Every structure is written in C-alpha cells, then in structure tokens.
Amino acid sequence: MKIGCHVSIAGGIVNAPQRAAELGCEVFQMFTRSPQGGPAPKIDADVIKKFKEEMKKYSQENCYIHAPYYINFASANKSTREASVRAAREELERGSLIEAKYLMTHLGSAKDMSRNEALKVTSSGILAVINGYKGRTEFLLEISAGAGNVIGDTFEELEYIIRNSDDRVGVCIDSAHMFASGYDIKTKEGFSSVLNVIKKNIGTERIKIIHANDSKVGLNEHKDRHDHIGDGKIGESGFKNLIKSFSEVDFILETKPDKVTEDIKKLKEMRNKYGNG
C-alpha cells in the first residue's frame, strides 16, 4: 500500500511529480486536463519524456488520473453521453502515453431517466469506452455518494454495470462516498458486513484504488463532502478498518491543501501500526 493525494497540474502535468513529492506522496493522482471542460493540452513526446524523468527523480511509483467532472454516462442527452465516452477514452489513451496505472471516472446522474434505463445506457457507455482499447492504463468506476440522482452509489449497481460492459473494468472506492451512501465502514461490525457486500457483488480484488477521505456528513446522508482524516464523521477507526483489509491497495487523499500533508502523515503512521506490507 502506497499513500498519496490529488495534486494540481498548474503549469503542466510535468510539474505534478515534484509537487507530489513535496506533499509527502509516494504515488499521486491528477487531472490531465481541466476537470470542467475545454480541449486537453497535448501530451507530446517532450512532455512524455520530461514527465517520466520527473517521476523517477521524485521517486513517485505510480500516478493515477481522475477523469473530468462533466462526464455523465447516464445523461438523457445522447450527445452528452457520446462526449462522455469520447473524453473517457481519450483519458485512457493519454494515461497510457505517460504510463498512468489507472483512470477513474464518476458515472453521472440519471436525471430525466428511470434508474434502470440509466444503468443500461451507462453500461453501454462504459463498454464503448473500453471496446477495442489496447492501452495500459486500466479503467475504474468510482462509487458515488448517491446525491440526488447520481448513480453508482451501491455495489449492486457497480456490479450490474461491470457485468453489462467489460470484465476488465475495476472499481475505485471512496471512503467518504461509501459512508454517505450508507456503508458503515466506521465500526468493526459495520465494516465486516460492508466487506461481505463487496465480496458478494464485485469481489474485493476488483477494488484497485481507495480514495481516503473522511466525511463531513453522516452515514446515509448522501452528500459528497470530504473532511480531513479523523476530523469527520468516519473517524480514524474507519481508516484502520480499510488499512487492515486493503493492504495491497494504494490510498489517495482528496482533502483540502491546508492539511493534506498532515493527512498523509497520519495515514502513513496508521499503515505502520495496522498494515501488513
């Protein structure tokens, strides 16, 4: 298990590895383009070469890419769905150029569509993203907090989408999203039943990345509000549970820059105490 956080790409992705190292990351996550939209900056041979040099220089073992936020595979609007497929595929190809290990995406919101219909079109979208793809960056679906009509907030839905798209697709769990979706990862008993739900649906081995965020909102409140480790409603016990059960998976923080270095330190200490690798 390696620990890192989401880092800014201000000035270009080549700046990310140094920024990550300065925050205490062993691995890190970034966008490769503006998360809100617009054309993606080109990743040419010079950028690839420089990026790889910087990764080595700053001892970053892996980098992960977060797909842009405007992606919505469940939109009632066909052109939005098509643009989402295009953007996700582009990110997989761009990730492959810089040897990013994983790309994770949010699934979107099922406004103006039944839940079943939304799950169907989302599965087709995910299949279209990965169909014929031969790159090395692996594709992950991120569990949501289930706010409003946002889909993919249960392991049942994620299982459905994977079963109806491609077996190569993995999962990124976010502790804050899971907790807000009603998965009690805080207590020992709660966590063991969450593990059973995971095993029954997607299998623990399908979980490739953990977004380690505490939650400003309580269990089942269905809002996506990150907090610093130990400051939120999950508390350190939840992270201890995660570290013990997922010692082979990397943990990425998505907390505010003011205290993210402290969060990284805290997780590293907990890894020393509770991890086994």
Q: How far is CA 103 from CA 29, 138, 142, 185, in A?
A: 9, 6, 10, 24
- CB 45 to Zn ion: min, Å: 30
| CA torsion, ordered 131, 107, 76, 118, to nearest 10 deg | 90
Based on CB atoms, which residue is closest to Zn ion, 7 or 14? 7
CA 103 – CA 90 distance, rounded (Å): 11
Nearest one of 247, 150, 213 to 6, comparing CA atoms:
213
Point out the residue whose Cβ comes nearest to Zn ion: 224
Question: What is the torsional sign of CA 48, 84, 165, 141?
Answer: positive
CA 55 – CA 72 distance, rounded (Å): 31
DSSP 5: E
DSSP 253: E
Q: What residues from 46 to 105 belong to the interface with Zn ion (CB under 5 A)?
A: none
* Residue 142 assigned as binding residue: yes
Tokens of 27: 């691995």
- CB 169 to Zn ion: min, Å: 16
* Candidate ranges 31-39, 132-140, 219-227, 268-276; the one touching Zn ion (CB under 5 A): 219-227
- CB 74 to Zn ion: min, Å: 16
* Residue 254 assigned as binding residue: yes
* Residue 228 assigned as binding residue: no
Contact between residue 1 and residue 44 where contact means Cβ atoms under 8 Å apart = no
Based on CB atoms, which residue is closest to Zn ion, 146 or 275? 146
Contact between residue 9 and residue 42 where contact means Cβ atoms under 8 Å apart = no
Interface with Zn ion includes 138 (CB under 5 A)? no
- CB 105 to Zn ion: min, Å: 8
Based on CB atoms, which residue is closest to Zn ion, 153 or 224? 224
* Residue 248 assigned as binding residue: no
Of positions 91, 224, 227, 263, contacts Zn ion by CB under 5 A:
224
* Candidate ranges 56-64, 74-82, 217-225, 243-251; the one touching Zn ion (CB under 5 A): 217-225
CA-based angle 135:65:202, to the nearest 5?
75
- CB 66 to Zn ion: min, Å: 6
Residue list, annotated binding site for Zn(2+): 66, 106, 142, 174, 177, 211, 224, 226, 254
Q: List interacting residues with Zn ion (CB under 5 A).
A: 142, 224
